[in-house]
Chains A and B, each alone.
Chain A
Amino acid sequence: MLALGNDLLGDDAAGPLAARTLASRYRDRVAIVESGEAGLALLELIEGRRRVLILDSIRSGAFPPGTVREMAPESFRGVLAPSPHYAGLPEVLALGRRLGSEMPGELRVLSIEVEDPFTIREALSPAVASAMPRFVEAAAGILDDWLAASAGR
């Protein structure tokens, strides 16, 4: 489980905070990694893993803050952005395959719509804070499915 976000940047902390809540339940069976990095750094974090669940905050503006959604990795279109640090998920996956790295067989992305990921502070905005249990349980549901599948093999 890869929790993306910066715990000093308001709502951007949603992913790491969810991961910390889940740590006591899953720590023995799931590798839990927090990162505030992007782009190529993600390649190092996901290669060699069989299954990866990414938790992240998103600010699409299309949904109310606190909305929890699962998103297809392919929906993050390749982006030509002002910095390599924004290298997109599809690009990272394509690059990994191209280089012969072992890429996850399954990769799922769970996002929570946030309000303010720009202010340096250690607090979530109210709408996001109250949605955190939903975010956490959605992640737990995916992990449980995977663990059951692994056990059943």
Chain B
Amino acid sequence: MDTRRITVDPITRLEGHGKIDIFLDERGDVERAFFQVPELRGFEVFSVGRPAEDMPQITSRICGVCPTAHHMAATKALDALYSVEPTPTARKVRELVYNAFMLEDHALHVYVLGGPDFIVGPDAPPSLRNVSGVIAKVGADAGRRVISMRRRLRELIGRIGGKAIHPVLGLPGGVAKGVSPEDLPAFRALADEAVDFARFTLRVFRDLVLGNDAYLRMITAEAYTHRTYSMGMVDARNRVDFYDGDLRVVDPEGSEYAKFPAHRYLDFVAEHVEPWSYVKFCYLKPVGWKGFVDGRDSGVYSVAPMARLNASEGMATEEAQAAHDELYAALGPKPVHYTLANHWARVVEMVQAAERIRDLLADPEIAGADLRNLPTAVPRVGVGAVEAPRGTLFHHYETDGDGRIVRANLIVATQGNSARMAMGVEKAAKEMIRGGEVREGLLNRVEMAFRAYDPCHGCATHSLPGQVPLVLRILDRAGRVIDEIRR
């Protein structure tokens, strides 16, 4: 068979990262597309023998992108390991920091990453499809507002938790530092601004995106639709909760399939390995791995904003609930399976995060002095989970009786979407390549299929990107480059 190969290399300075290979069959149609991501090695080896209480600091330093998510999942795993609950004040302080992190991280995605696809527009010229293009569209004032809000939320996180990039807040049974009553007036003013900022973002999204039929058609296009299970964390009333609760899974029709506490994750989540990828593809263990396919019989599930909304029965705060209802009125009923709807769901979650920050700061207990319950139990096993911006994150530690790690396992958020992303990339490629004809905009349309999930690949990569520009190559069977598109 004459198989041609197309490589999409959207890559950072790290060669070989996030590569997409598209294989064509003899008719020139897409046979398979492989979405490959890098693997971070050595975590377990690095962890073994270290005191468990170091894990919130170590795991948060592994990733410069979502340190707070790792820090909090690790802290909750320590609570479980030492069989100790945080004090009511400590829990609220953690939630405050966590919601501030969710808001600033989501804002970054909406304006910087989702921006090119949604605010500027999917068919805008590449020269405008960047942050500057977004600013041109929403205005420099709005741009400064985004930067300023993000910085101040990070200052709040830093004020309570140490440096935003290296939080040192969480301890088993509590927190290292509380909210000082003198800080409350400034924090409350910031919270009010944060709610305004979230409302503003919802308006921007509504005006630019929802007022445009072409966008709505794109969101609902079959090319970006996968009917899978959805997973997300919920509170006691099945409302979206980023910090704590059971994990709820709904089937592709929206019925509750499972609801389980984090420590039972191994009964529900398993990892599938493919020879072409380092990434482990998460699937629902009781349903089983049936390949990269949709539907009730396939264990593929999704996480992150749209899945979280799908897996819940609503939002935990008032304005977020209204925004949630607006989303489902336009795209519903529940569950919504459109990948690109993640951008909208992310804005709905920003509203909840902002409202939670405001409500937590209005609660006098947030500035309480009782910050810690001292652990007394002998440690053995601890599992903690949070909703990272990119989906459910599990930390699992086992220790000896002295609290030294003997085994550590992480299921990171992007893994929960890895199967769906691979399916999305293949489906988009199939739409854009027919009979050997590569349609204009292939790169962008393929990227949009995974960008909506805000994947974080590498849990580590930082600066100096761009050494290798985006490259799409078409190779014949002998490996000769017969076409090459660059930008």
User: Hey, which bits of chain A sit against chain B, CB under 8 A?
Assistant: 4-9, 12, 35-44, 54, 56, 58-61, 75-91, 94-95, 98-101, 109, 111, 117-121
Is the beta-carbon distance between A85 and B461 smaller than 8 angstroms?
Answer: yes
A48 to chain B, nearest CB (A): 12
Given known contacts A40-B150, A58-B467, A98-B140, is B38 in contact with A120 (CB within 8 Å)?
no
Give, as a whole number of angstroms, the nearest-CB distance from B456 to chain A. Answer: 6
Give residues of chain B (146-164) contacting chain A, Cβ–Cβ below 8 Å.
147, 150-151
Top 8 nearest A-B pairs by Cβ distance?
A36-B64, A84-B113, A84-B112, A76-B466, A120-B42, A38-B462, A79-B466, A119-B42
Q: A40-B112, A98-B140, A117-B14 are in contact. Are A78 and B466 (CB under 8 A)?
A: yes
Contact of A91 with B132 in the complex, beta carbons under 8 Å: yes
Q: Which residues of A contact B465 (CB under 8 A)?
A: 38, 76, 79, 81, 86-89
Most B CB atoms within 10 A — which of A6, A84, A94, A101? A84
Nearest CB to that of B47 among chain A residues?
A120
Chain B residues near A37 (CB-CB < 8 A): 64, 165, 462-463
Q: Is the CB of A4 within 8 A of B464?
A: yes
A99 contacts B12, C-beta separation under 8 Å: no
Contacts of A117 in B (CB 8 A): 14, 460
A84 touches B109 (CB 8 A): yes
Q: Determine whether B482 belongs to the interface, using a CB cutoff of 8 Å to chain A.
A: no
- Closest A-chain residue to B66, C-beta based? A85
Of the residues A36, A88, A121, contact of B466 by C-beta under 8 Å = A88
Q: Interface residue tally of chain B, by bracket?
A: 35 or more
A58 touches B132 (CB 8 A): no
Given A38-B64, A84-B109, A121-B46: A79 and B462 interface contact (C-beta under 8 Å)? no
- What are some 5 contacts across the A-B interface (CB < 8 A)? A87-B131, A101-B147, A109-B464, A117-B14, A119-B41
Q: Is A79 within 8 A of B10, CB to CB?
A: yes
Across-interface contacts of B140 in A (CB, < 8 A): 98-100
> Once the chains are docked, how many angstroms separate the CA of A14 from the CA of B169?
28
Report the tally of A-B residue pairs with Cβ distances under 8 A: 180
Chain A residues whose C-beta falls within 8 Å of the C-beta of B200 in the assembled complex: none
Kindly provide the distance from the CB of B454 to the nearest chain A CB, expressed in whole angstroms: 7
Contact of B455 (CB < 8 Å), options: A43, A60, A83, A111? A83
**Residue of A81, A90, A91, A117 most packed against chain B (CB within 10 A):** A81
**In the bound complex, do residue A82 and residue B464 qualify as a contact, i.e. CB atoms below 8 Å apart?**
no
Instruction: Assess the A81–B131 pair: CB atoms within 8 A.
Output: no
Q: How far is the CB of B128 from chain A (nearest CB, A)?
A: 11
Q: Are A77 and B469 in contact (CB under 8 A)?
A: yes
A-facing residues in B52-102 (Cβ within 8 Å): 58, 61-62, 64-65
B329 CB to nearest A CB, Å:
29
Q: Which listed residue, A36, A56, A85, A98, touches B464 by the CB 8 Å rule?
A: A56
Q: Which residues of B contact A99 (CB under 8 A)?
A: 135, 140, 143-144, 147
Tell whether, in the assembled complex, residue A121 and residue B42 are in contact, meaning their CB atoms are under 8 Å apart: yes
B257 at the interface (CB under 8 A from A): no
B38 lies within 8 A of A118 (CB): yes
A38/B62 in contact, CB under 8 A: no
Contacts of A79 in B (CB 8 A): 10-12, 465-466, 469-470
* B150 partner residues in chain A, CB cutoff 8 A: 40
Given A8-B46, A120-B40; A36-B462 close (CB under 8 Å): yes
Q: Which residue of A lies closest to B113 (CB)?
A: A84
Query: Are B463 and A40 within 8 A (Cβ)?
Result: no
Contacts of A7 in B (CB 8 A): 61
Which of A39, A61, A119 sits near B112, CB closer than 8 Å? A39
Whether A6 contacts B13 by the Cβ 8 Å rule is no
Residue B108 is within 8 A (CB to CB) of chain A in the complex: yes
A8-B62, A95-B135, A121-B46 are known contacts. Are A81 and B462 too (CB-CB below 8 A)?
A: no
Q: Give Cα A76 to B64, complex, Å.
A: 20
User: Which stretch from B26-34, B296-304, B443-451 is at the chain A interface?
Assistant: B443-451
Interface check B222, CB cutoff 8 A: no
Q: A38-B461, A100-B144 are in contact. Are A84 and B466 (CB under 8 A)?
A: no
* B116 part of interface (Cβ distance < 8 Å): yes
Chain A residues within an 8 Å CB radius of B196:
none
State whether A83 touches B454 (Cβ < 8 A). yes
* Closest residue of B by beta carbon distance from A90: B466
A56 to B64, CA, bound (A): 15
- Expressed in whole angstroms, the Cα–Cα distance for A82 and B453 within the complex equals 9
Q: Chain A residues near B447: list those with CB within 8 A.
A: 80, 82
* B457: interface (CB < 8 Å): yes
Cα distance A39–B467 in the bound complex, in angstroms: 15
User: Most chain-B CB neighbours within 10 Å: which of A36, A54, A75, A83?
Assistant: A83
Docked Cα-Cα span, A41 to B116, in Å, equals 19
